[in-house]
Amino acid sequence: MKTVCQITMFRTINYGSALQAYALHTAVTRLLGHRCLTVDYVAQAGERTFPRSPAALARYLLGRVVYWRRDRAYDDFLRTELDLTRPYATFAELAADPPAADVYATGSDQTFNPQWSGADPAYFLAFVPADRRPAVRKIAYASSFAVSALPEALRPRYREALLDYDALSVREESGVALIRDLTGQTAAWCCDPTLLLERAQWAAMAQKATRRPKRPYILVYIMAYMVNPYPQADRVIDEVARALDLDVVYLNGRRQDLGKPRATVNKSASPYEFVDLFLNASFIVTSSFHGAVFSLHSGKPFIALTEADPRKDSRLRALLRRVGAERHAVPVPIPDDFHVGDPARFAQPAGGYAERLGAFREESLAWLRAAIEG
């Protein structure tokens, strides 16, 4: 049994980030039989600043009250479900006393994204001591650039860092081309860790959810900071809710969603409740990559709101294309003449996309096993 140490982004409050870290941990431990440590790199959460004006400070404090349960549940999930190292506040602290392991892995999510990681050397495993390097392996599992091109100033730094890996895999096909262009090497296209686990495994985890809607509902999970489909998305959601006579559950949601008839804004869901809400929804509308992943796991009808400009974020489109689910995509901006019509046209086929998802999963697990065991 080897010890695998993954570093990934999960300390910012983001359900997909936490669940992909859990999924890789679970795949390494339960499916492959190794130990998995997760670097508790708290630096990724950034420094907390407090507003100066009285009005802004009041809004900030109100937000802390609203999100208190969510933040506590999120932290409890990480401490319960992951094997965390001691906290590291800075890269220098991590490099001075790195955790011992046989394999160091850059995990999934946007660890190679120049916008979010800022080319932080921690995510390129630069903390691995030079004198230990010959005896250990450095791998990247389904790491995402989330862009198809890098800023010219960062290319030399990325090239040098990537050439020091023993095995590279990425989460999007565009990442394969990027690594080939940077290094001349061929990276594998592997699935997000949340797809390494099957629906039954997620359903078992979701049993820990403590709150559930009492009536059938459409689940809305829209990350407007990435792809903003409003205000047209309101029309799409209303059409589905009326056609199927469903309540609406807004996961996170906006102030504008508060007080709508037959609608609930859930701003305090735990990661367990996040999964449970997807698996038990009657219909799903999402603009999130991991929202699409759990829509696929649910087997339920769903709409994936995707960026229409192919030069921008391609993660969601690449996933749908890989598993043959492109018909669920609706471009953003949503055309004025777009109407849902019969919601059944967004239903998943009988058995979902199990065949192509299963093949993707098995290819990715085989790659991960070989990368760990060398």
- Summarize pLDDT for 280-336 with one digit per residue, the tens: 999 999 999 999 999 999 999 999 999 887 666 678 888 999 999 999 999 999 999
- Contacting residues for 90 by C-beta, under 8 A, at least 6 apart: 43
The model's pLDDT over 258-293, given as tens digits with 9 standing for 90+, comes to: 999 999 999 999 999 999 999 999 999 999 999 999
Spatial CA neighbour of 209 closest among 269, 256, 251, 169: 269
- Report which residue type is found at 143: S
- Strand blocks (E) in the chain: 3-7, 35-41, 84-88, 103-106, 137-143, 167-170, 188-189, 217-221, 247-251, 263-266, 283-286, 302-307, 329-332
Residue 218 corresponds to which tokens in the numbers above? 């459409």
Taking a C-beta distance cutoff of 8 angstroms, is the pair 144, 112 a contact?
Answer: yes
288/229 Cα distance (integer angstroms): 12
Domain boundaries, the chain: 3-196, 204-353
The correct CATH number of 204-353 out of 3.30.1490.20, 3.30.70.260, 3.40.50.2000, 2.60.40.10 is 3.40.50.2000
Count CA within 13 A, CB hemisphere, residue 92.
0
- Chain segment 207-264, per-residue pLDDT in tens: 999 999 999 999 999 988 778 999 999 999 999 999 999 999 999 889 899 999 999 9
Question: Position of tokens 């921690």?
Answer: 122
Is-same-fold flag (3-196; 204-353)? yes
CA-closest candidate to residue 234, choices 213, 248, 214 = 248
Q: How distant, in Å, are the alpha carbons of 65, 200, 208, 269, 271 from that of 72? A: 11, 26, 15, 10, 11
With b for 16 or more beta-carbon neighbours within 10 A and e for fewer, the 198-221 pattern comes to ebebbeebbeebeeebeeebbbbb
Q: For 46, phi and psi rounded to 5 degrees?
A: 80, 170
Give the CATH fold of the 3-196 domain: Rossmann fold (3.40.50)
